[in-house]
Structure 1
Amino acid sequence: MKVYIEVLVKWVGWLLVFVFVINQTASAQTEEPFHITRINQPITLDGFSDEAAWQNVDPLPMTMYQPTFGGSPSEKTEVRVAYDDTYMYFSMRAYDSNHGGIRGNILFRDRFGSDDYFEVMIDTFNDNENSLVFTTNPAGIRRDVAITQDGVGEAGSWVNADYNTFWDVGVEVTDKGWFAETRVPLSSLRFQDKEGRVEMGLSLHRIIVRKSERAVYPAIEPSTDFAYLKPSRMQTIVLEGVESQRPVYVRPYVLGGLERAAVSEESSDGYRHIHDQTADFGLDVKYGLTSNLTMDLTLNTDFAQVEVDDQQVNLTRFSLFFPEKRQFFQERAGLFEFRTGGLSHLFHSRRIGLTDDGEMVRILGGARIVGRAGDWDVGFVNMQTEKMGDLPSENFGALRLKRQIFNPYSYAGGMMTSRIGADGNYNLAYGVDGTFRLYGDDYLTVRWAHTLDDREQFDADWSPGKSGRFFGVFEKRLRDGFGYRTGVIWSGEDYSPQLGFVQRSDFTQLSQDFSYSWRPGDDSSLIYHTFLIGGESFIRNIDGTIETFEAGPEWSFLLKSGGRGSIGANLVYEDLLVPFTLDQDAFIPAGDYTFYRGVIDYTMSRSGLFRLGTNLEAGGFYDGYSFSISLQPTWNISPHLELQGTYGFDHVEFPDRNQAFNSHLARLRVGVPFNTEVSTNIFLQYNSTIDSFSTNARFRYNFSEGHDLWIVYNENMNTNLNRLGQMLPRNQYRSVMVKYTYTFIL
């Protein structure tokens, strides 16, 4: 093991030397920074952008991104950007020759549907990694999103849709088109100035959904997936004479409610209901320590208004991963990303205040600092939870540092985490990482993490290698032409970040993908299609045997109509040393298995009011076979009614063992917005694997940004009362909560 670690360290060292040499000639942004116009006259946020202040602001040139890159937008579009001492302003005049075709059905805050929209993307630190996205539609909704990792990684890993900040919009629709103005306070944008000069990245987008058309500024070429969302493709802009404004946001809340839960009687086979009344209050404070460093403080934290988790069906032997939805952890959440392969994270904020089963643990208070200090991106979290049952009071801490090195597209950094219990148990972890642009679109990413906890001081065989993990990938981040991705992961048997998430340990993973993509041209119905062949293997460190191997081809495509899909097939090999169960009637015995599987995936264009996503997977499954289908329909019936559904069905059968497993998972979201301030969301879920039907209903009155009234109703019901051999109560849990928050700006 010692020799292995030494070789690994030397290999990484030589790679860093190679990176340094190559990056002396690596290209950086060649566009000249664009000085946007400073205005000194007031702007009324009504959408029309006809004030005198706008008259001296020239429109920016827009280029069609999709369906055909390089052309002029099919409808006249004028976008402008300006700023003053307090705000950045963005306007769009979206003329439309077909007034009846303008789509503006969504009235929900933070909802994204089949609407036309105006999108502003700002890379506030001009770091080519992170950006904030501000979107509005013809109905005047606000949607804000944070982009991280330059839009690279597994689907959804680099988009934080739960991010929120303070900003405003004004929209009007006429017979000539629709017109929008977006106003973002400089105090909502963390940035870095040098003697009053600020550089940011910027891109602006207009979407005409009925035409599946996107027009962009600057002229971003669709040479890779989601190129239009990448901070590294933005235009650098300059603001002069900008001074930091650092208001203090004080947000108290009051909460009241009733709960009823069924608990079993230890002395009998029955259940009794317990009732509880809640009356509570707490406080959040946001303060700008500097123009680019923000501190959040929280006391007696509560997340009653957060939507419940999407239930999942697990057909694997590994733990399920659930994303973070709580607002306190959202600002610049991507800074804390430290992935060590797949779903494994060195830090996962859901560990704070939530048990592995999703049960809430009271957070007594804590602090969070994010932003930039000098050349360093800084992230710090420290939270204290209350004792609950056998779980002691715990302190959770994380520190993250990153900075650019060599060129504007490369960075290096590190992270430390701690989880310390009042009972003396502790878990500590640290990691170092870097992503380096070697040349062109070729990138190398390396990460090393190591954990230490109270158990290891008694282990005579302990060594750094046993509790460490290494991740490395070399890839071409370009969709056009030939592409490749080579990866390696090595994990020790004792690697266990208790403030993170892992699925496997004590293994080595090797992966390799080769692909070729091409754009057929203007006459084709396809924007691009890609053929990929690749695979991965998991090797046990203890004896070098293969635990899992999977490989096969895949064809994926994107249509000019906006639809996208893929078809793939895989050879799978699994070697199980221990059995695992699917449910009480079906299990997988230990042994080695070889089988084949096929996958078909297709998502309809967003151009229609009704759209459907489908996924079909079938083939062998260990010593049997399985069939899975998932349907995800969305129907915007009217601006005041939206339905979003998911239905998943899994059938697994083992004929030789006369076992079978069936699961049904259904989710339905019913959105009823009365206007952009008042709305109701009802989330219904049925899961046959746990015989449960649940309801999460949330009424929101958003008086203004930071000023909300929430009424939240939750109910869990048992659908099979005899599944445990005793009569269960029909109603397992029910609660109603009322929460009121108001933000004072000091």
Structure 2
Amino acid sequence: MKARYSVLLMSAIFLLASLPLSAYEAQQVTKQKEGYVLQAAKVDQAPDIDGHLEEELWQKAPAAGNFVQKQPDEGKPATEKTEVRILYDNKNVYIGIMCYDSEPQNIIANEKRRDSEDIYENDHVRIMLDTFHDRRNGYIFVINPLGAKLDLQVRKEGKREGGWHIPNPNVNIDWDGVWKVRSTIHQKGWSAEIEIPFATLRFDQNPTNGWGLNFLRNVRRKNEESTWAPLPRNLNLYKISMAGELQGLEGLGKVLNLQVKPFALVGGTSRRDAADRLTSEGVLDGGIDLKYGVTSNLTLDITYNTEFSQVEADYQQINLTRFSLYFPEKRDFFLENAAIFSIGSPDDAMIFFSRRIGISPQGEEIPLLGGLKLAGKAGRFNIGLINLQAQAIGELPANNFTVLRLSRDILGKSAIGLMVTNRQSEISGDFNRAFCLDSDFILGDNFSMSGYFAGTSSPGLEGRNRAAKLGFQWISDLWDCYGYYFDIQENFNAEMGFVKRTGIRRFQTHLGFTPEPDIKGVKQFGPHIFFAYTADQENNLLLREEHVHFPVNFINGGHIALQWNEDHEFVDFPFPIRQDITVPVGTYTARWWQADFSTNRSLRLYGSMSYRWGGFYSGNSRILNVRTGWRPTPSFASEISVIYNYVNLPQGDFANHLLRARMIYNFSTRLALMSLIQWNGDTDEVDVNIRLNFIHKPGSDLFIVYNESRLVEGLPSGIRDRALLIKFTYLFNL
């Protein structure tokens, strides 16, 4: 085969890039929704952010109104009136929202947490700002009647790069911007005022272009969604190209900023050593983060003595496969503009995976001396640069990590780009490098194609070090279809990425149908089929997967589903699935079923359950996953999850379980106590993560964190390690 497959894929990926751009520009740029233009009004005095819209200055701005239903009666006027006004001054943009409600006593609002996706189970409003007006990328801000808030960055209109079982890299829900909101419920309904500093946003310096803009309101008791600029029922605010427009912004190109955020860390840690002694030491540390707006759309972050003790612990997982598990990134430094650095997915090969920096393969933290990140836009170019220095720890030498990402917007909503990664050790000759060319073509409103071609360089791994992927997506009002082919050679070694398996060729495809039947109580059917074929580099079958799934979503927020699967797998080398149980070489066919059920999460007591049963290699397995949550007041929420695994094989039987308990008490929208307790039956270990977070001003926090890892049996006291840390941060806007 040699490099023949590479030539074919490269030709397909970049064929369209050679066509005349001007001919496609006019066809591919979705025209602005006619009539959906809102004028922002400039003010000299900022409004008082208290949730009331009684100040006269709000009347200076015209209102966006006449919302149209997206669900349940697409295209009809919203049953409850909504008005939105926008003001701005030299520092901030202000959004005033009035949600009239004919039954204010029945407004559903029981969530106070920041960044909780349960806010979607409340009455809420979402605001989309396309600050570059490129009709591809934007920010979404979500609020509810209690002042809870959620923010996210959207790239490529939220296009999914992998399967539904993994986070979408183009929707960054973990990004935390600096902004504030106050909401209030009253006899007319509920209202809110939002203040977003321009320093939080990245935007086009040319004010004549305006911003893309849309709003979505959810009246939860009616399961009604309405938008300002209309959207089809199967789309959401991620469809930035169908947004309206915000005009009237002037002088924004002058907004440059410097944010300085020092931190202090004090506390103590204890760890049990190899001699079974519990040794303790004090912690006294500090560092600083700087954020500088090089331009209004390009940001430089500099960090010194980087530290992430406040980050919530990972959810534990049980691995019943031969391959590595994927854990999402949670650290603040890597989250903003994370999608710029995203190529590939955990299903195939992620060229860059930020958890490779500062976290060991065993999940332990590696101290980072510091570094920088440059990210944003310059004209039609998207720019990303990361350089971080990791310190030596134990037997691990010091390493420098560099990522360079550059892409160019073409054809309206499409892009081509490249990425280079480099890990350079302090030990001579110890390095790893990767390069990648990629493209993403949006062809019309429904169809897209994407792909990449990558290679790596590592000492001792010469040749057979390439990877390539080509895929398509087609999404309409009733149908969705996608297909991918990727080829990863044996010596492809992206150490700064995530590659589950090398030496394979894989094809996978999905076809789904999403009708809304005229059946009482039923919101939507979602039947779909999935097929995947994985072979080695000589085209010998390694895994064939067949999947048929029939989910039903109900108007009351409930969900049921049934799926059938058949896996035909060749195990090419024996692997230990447990310490004393090994799956031998052989070919295995496993047929299994799974049933799912969940209730409306806006209820005070809610729950979900899934049960899988059927074949597993040469035996069978049963997996029960039960989750229940209790939210008696808007201030308190708890959730318990139990995962029960029982596996029966000719080589032996085993069972392992996971227990997870989360509890949150919100004293206010600025002060919260959170706990996460996990028990892993496979390791017989209990992990505790308790965090108190006080936001003493937007962007500034006080964290008190307690972590403990304890063996249920074994060590005399059971404690493996524990830590009590206090971290104080303060944001200076200069």
TM-score by length of 2: 0.94
1:18/1:733 CA distance change after superposition, 3 Å: same
Letter of the structure 1 residue corresponding to residue 258 of structure 2: V
1: distance between equivalents of 2:127 and 2:546? Answer: 40
Q: What's 2:40 paired with?
A: 37
Q: What's 1:2 paired with?
A: 3
Q: 1:527 aligns with which of 518, 523, 530?
A: 523
1:444/1:565 CA distance change after superposition, 3 Å: farther
Q: 1:256 aligns with which of 248, 266, 273?
A: 266
CA contact (8 A) 1:141 1:676 kept: yes
2: distance between equivalents of 1:544 and 1:314? Answer: 27
1:110/1:514 CA distance change after superposition, 3 Å: closer
Letter of the structure 1 residue corresponding to residue 227 of structure 2: V
1:289 counterpart = 2:294: yes
Q: What's 1:651 paired with?
A: 646
Q: What's 2:726 paired with?
A: 738
1:159 counterpart = 2:152: no
Q: How does 1:265-280 map to 2 (within 5 A)?
A: 265=275, 271-280=276-285
1:201 counterpart = 2:212: yes
1: distance between equivalents of 2:104 and 2:218? Answer: 15
1: distance between equivalents of 2:295 and 2:320? Answer: 48
Deviation at 1:729, TM superposition (A): 4.4
CA contact (8 A) 1:222 1:228 kept: no
CA contact (8 A) 1:212 1:607 kept: no
User: What are the superposed Cα offsets for residues 195-241 of structure 1, whole Å, 9 maximum, x if unpaired?
Assistant: x42432222122222222222221111234xx333323322333442
Letter of the structure 2 residue corresponding to residue 632 of structure 1: R
Report SS of the residue matched to 2:289.
strand
Deviation at 1:344, TM superposition (A): 2.9
Q: What's 1:679 paired with?
A: 672
CA contact (8 A) 1:412 1:435 kept: yes
Deviation at 1:567, TM superposition (A): 2.2
> Gaps (5+ residues) in structure 1?
266-270, 457-461, 722-726
1:248/1:10 CA distance change after superposition, 3 Å: closer
1:205/1:422 CA distance change after superposition, 3 Å: same
Report SS of the residue matched to 2:135.
coil
1:112 counterpart = 2:124: no
1:221 counterpart = 2:232: yes
Q: What's 2:92 paired with?
A: 87
1:221/1:7 CA distance change after superposition, 3 Å: closer
Q: Structure 1 stretch 396-405 or stretch 554-563: which is displaced more?
A: 554-563
Q: Structure 1 stretch 624-633 or stretch 108-117: which is displaced more?
A: 108-117
1:701 counterpart = 2:711: no
1:148 counterpart = 2:151: no
User: What are the superposed Cα offsets for residues 249-296 of structure 1, whole Å, 9 maximum, x if unpaired?
Assistant: 11111111111111122xxxxx11111111001000111000100111
Q: What's 1:596 paired with?
A: 591
Deviation at 1:35, TM superposition (A): 4.7
Q: How does 1:131-142 map to 2 (within 5 A)?
A: 131-142=138-149
Deviation at 1:311, TM superposition (A): 0.5
CA contact (8 A) 2:705 2:725 kept: yes
1:689 counterpart = 2:682: yes
2: distance between equivalents of 1:289 and 1:20? Answer: 30
1:666 counterpart = 2:648: no
2: distance between equivalents of 1:73 and 1:12? Answer: 43
Q: How does 1:443-462 map to 2 (within 5 A)?
A: 443-456=448-461, 462=462
1:538 counterpart = 2:534: yes
Report SS of the residue matched to 2:10.
helix
User: What are the superposed Cα offsets for residues 684-704 of structure 1, whole Å, 9 maximum, x if unpaired?
Assistant: 001100100111001112111
Q: How does 1:22-421 map to 2 (within 5 A)?
A: 23=24, 26-30=27-31, 31-32=33-34, 34-40=37-43, 42=45, 43-56=47-60, 57-113=62-118, 114-153=121-160, 154-155=163-164, 156-157=167-168, 158-194=170-206, 196-224=207-235, 227-243=236-252, 244-265=254-275, 271-339=276-344, 342=347, 344-407=349-412, 409-421=413-425
Deviation at 1:90, TM superposition (A): 1.6
Q: What's 2:558 paired with?
A: 563
Report SS of the residue matched to 1:681.
strand
CA contact (8 A) 2:382 2:406 kept: yes
Report SS of the residue matched to 2:230.
coil
Q: What's 1:724 paired with?
A: none
Q: Structure 1 stretch 428-437 or stretch 438-447: which is displaced more?
A: 438-447
2: distance between equivalents of 1:625 and 1:237? Answer: 58
CA contact (8 A) 2:422 2:431 kept: yes
Report SS of the residue matched to 2:333.
helix
Letter of the structure 2 residue corresponding to residue 531 of structure 1: P
2: distance between equivalents of 1:280 and 1:335? Answer: 32
Identity %: 28
Deviation at 1:26, TM superposition (A): 3.8
2: distance between equivalents of 1:485 and 1:162? Answer: 26
1:605/1:344 CA distance change after superposition, 3 Å: farther
User: What are the superposed Cα offsets for residues 360-397 of structure 1, whole Å, 9 maximum, x if unpaired?
Assistant: 11100100111111211111110001110111111001
1:298/1:341 CA distance change after superposition, 3 Å: closer
C-alpha RMSD of matched pairs (Å): 2.1
2: distance between equivalents of 1:67 and 1:602? Answer: 22
User: What are the superposed Cα offsets for residues 13-46 of structure 1, whole Å, 9 maximum, x if unpaired?
Assistant: 5465589799467443222472523233532222
Q: Structure 1 stretch 674-683 or stretch 499-508: which is displaced more?
A: 674-683
Q: What's 1:268 paired with?
A: none
Letter of the structure 2 residue corresponding to residue 538 of structure 1: T
2: distance between equivalents of 1:3 and 1:369? Answer: 37
1:138/1:285 CA distance change after superposition, 3 Å: same
Letter of the structure 2 residue corresponding to residue 599 of structure 1: Q
Report SS of the residue matched to 1:395.
strand
User: What are the superposed Cα offsets for residues 103-132 of structure 1, whole Å, 9 maximum, x if unpaired?
Assistant: 332222222323222221212222333322
Q: Structure 1 stretch 621-630 or stretch 171-180: which is displaced more?
A: 171-180
2: distance between equivalents of 1:54 and 1:614? Answer: 48
Q: What's 2:602 paired with?
A: 607
Report SS of the residue matched to 1:193.
coil
1: distance between equivalents of 2:205 and 2:175? Answer: 24
2: distance between equivalents of 1:9 and 1:604? Answer: 47
1:97/1:7 CA distance change after superposition, 3 Å: closer
Q: Structure 1 stretch 51-60 or stretch 369-378: which is displaced more?
A: 51-60
Letter of the structure 1 residue corresponding to residue 722 of structure 2: R
2: distance between equivalents of 1:128 and 1:527? Answer: 30
User: What are the superposed Cα offsets for residues 419-467 of structure 1, whole Å, 9 maximum, x if unpaired?
Assistant: 11001211111111111122341111111111112224xxxxx33xx11
Report SS of the residue matched to 1:518.
coil
Report SS of the residue matched to 2:460.
helix
2: distance between equivalents of 1:552 and 1:118? Answer: 36
Letter of the structure 2 residue corresponding to residue 448 of structure 1: F
2: distance between equivalents of 1:627 and 1:21? Answer: 57
Q: Structure 1 stretch 154-163 or stretch 87-96: which is displaced more?
A: 154-163
1: distance between equivalents of 2:646 and 2:719? Answer: 28
User: What are the superposed Cα offsets for residues 131-156 of structure 1, whole Å, 9 maximum, x if unpaired?
Assistant: 22212222212322222332221443
TM-score by length of 1: 0.92
1:467 counterpart = 2:455: no
